[in-house]
């Protein structure tokens, strides 16, 4: 429900935001189930990845192509993964402020993150292509995404497999 409350009008190409907000108490459980299944299955509907591109006039001669710029609007529910990364980056900003206030430091070059996707297929565009443009950042440094990580003597991977090392 919090993500729905944060949606801004005019930022989607399919369903008016005010309709979604007014029906949020009814549709939220269904949307949560849908998105949880998408994450669990490692799939994301192609329809939610397609944007509507509209040319917007910039300046000068309206008959010249170069005087327009493209604006792409995504389906409102196609933005959710982007919203998750946005929220994660807001949390990282808060962590960074806390660390600085307490004279601590995060070394982003030695840090990484796993994007858990237990049922993904190797060729799944959801698992690979779409995530390339989504970054976690702290103090201007990007955390690198990895498929495996060692933590407390256990090797874990993005499919939630665990192996002792």
The whole-model pTM stands at 0.48
The CA distance from 87 to 84, in Å, is 5
Distance CA 101, CA 52 (A): 44
Question: How many Cα atoms are found within 13 Å in the side-chain-facing hemisphere of 40?
Answer: 6
Both structure tokens of 36:
């949880």
Query: Which class for 38: exposed (0-12), middle (13-18), buried (19 or more C-beta within 10 A)?
Result: middle
Residue positions counted in the chain:
165
Structural element, H or E, at residue 117: none
Which value, to the nearest 10 degrees, does the dihedral of the CA atoms of residues 86, 148, 39, 43 take?
Answer: 110
pLDDT in tens, 20-65: 788 878 878 887 777 777 766 666 666 666 667 778 888 888 888 7
Segment 115-136, tens digit of pLDDT: 776 555 544 444 455 566 678 8
């Amino acid at each position: 429900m919090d993500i729905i409350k944060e949606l801004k009008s005019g930022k989607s190409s399919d369903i008016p935001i005010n309709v979604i907000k007014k029906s949020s108490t009814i549709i939220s459980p269904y949307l949560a189930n849908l998105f949880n299944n998408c994450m669990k299955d490692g799939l994301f509907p192609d329809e939610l990845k397609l944007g509507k591109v509209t040319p917007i006039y910039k300046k000068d001669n309206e008959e010249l192509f170069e005087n327009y710029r493209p604006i792409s609007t995504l389906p409102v529910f196609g933005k959710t993964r982007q919203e998750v990364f946005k929220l994660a980056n807001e949390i990282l900003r808060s962590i960074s402020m806390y660390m600085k206030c307490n004279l601590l430091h995060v070394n982003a070059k030695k840090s990484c993150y796993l994007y858990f996707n237990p049922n993904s297929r190797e060729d799944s565009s959801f698992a690979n292509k779409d995530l390339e443009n989504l970054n976690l950042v702290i103090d201007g440094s990007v955390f690198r995404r990895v498929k495996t990580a060692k933590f407390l003597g256990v090797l874990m991977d993005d499919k939630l497999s665990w192996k002792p090392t």
